[in-house]
Structure 1
Amino acid sequence: MKNRISFYVVSGLIILAILGLGVKLVNNPTGLFQSIAVIAIVVAVIYFIVQRVNRANPGKREHRAFAQAAKKSKKRFKNKEQGSAIQRKAKTGTLTSIKKSKRKSSTTHLTVIEGKKGKKKNRASL
């Protein structure tokens, strides 16, 4: 019910505005064009002021960069999930072959540090 009332109100205002513009165009066309020009200039000045204030806020730029990085991360994660699902469907084998393939995958963020792993330290002697 509220939507109907607001629709009628907005429609009535638009019709009255068009009617007013038509009457003003017939009676005083130069005054109409001057009014339109003044309104356009005021809107442009307000727009440029708002843009200047928004650009000066560094927190907004950081938030925008964070949102863009999060979107890229989600996209990359989604691609990995889709790829692994396709691989799972394509591979059909025994349980042991599936276990071996899981063990073969390694994490890329871990590295092996070469060194003497077999030799134990003698902690008793100082």
Structure 2
Amino acid sequence: MNNKVGHLLFVGLVSFAIIGLLIRIITDPTWIIRFILISAVMIGIFYFIMTKFVLKSSPTFNKEQMAFKKAAKLSKRKYKKSPKQPTYNKKNAIRKRTASSTHLTVIEGKKGKKKNRALH
């Protein structure tokens, strides 16, 4: 019963908010543009303050940032691939591919012979 009351209150609150927003847009259409611009400026100022002053002064932020930059540099070196692409022409198409660098060998065994189950 309590869940239904909470759900009805939430739906009613959202409905009133939507109705109020629509009335506000109908009566003053430039309000929405001003609201969006002011909100964007406030978010930009908050982001600037957080990144320049608050997070830089934090000692853990500097350590984590330096560790991340170092790991990224090492990762780039490790996974950097050289641009060695074989060129395709008719002569290369006829030739067979070279053997792979995985040094695998085939061990000959009793592949074709079936076990005699009566003896074993």
Give the TM-score of the pair, scaled to structure 1.
Answer: 0.38
Whose relative contact order is higher, 1 or 2, with alpha carbons under 8 Å and at least 6 apart?
Answer: 1
TM-score by length of 2: 0.40
Structure with a larger share of its residues in helix: 1
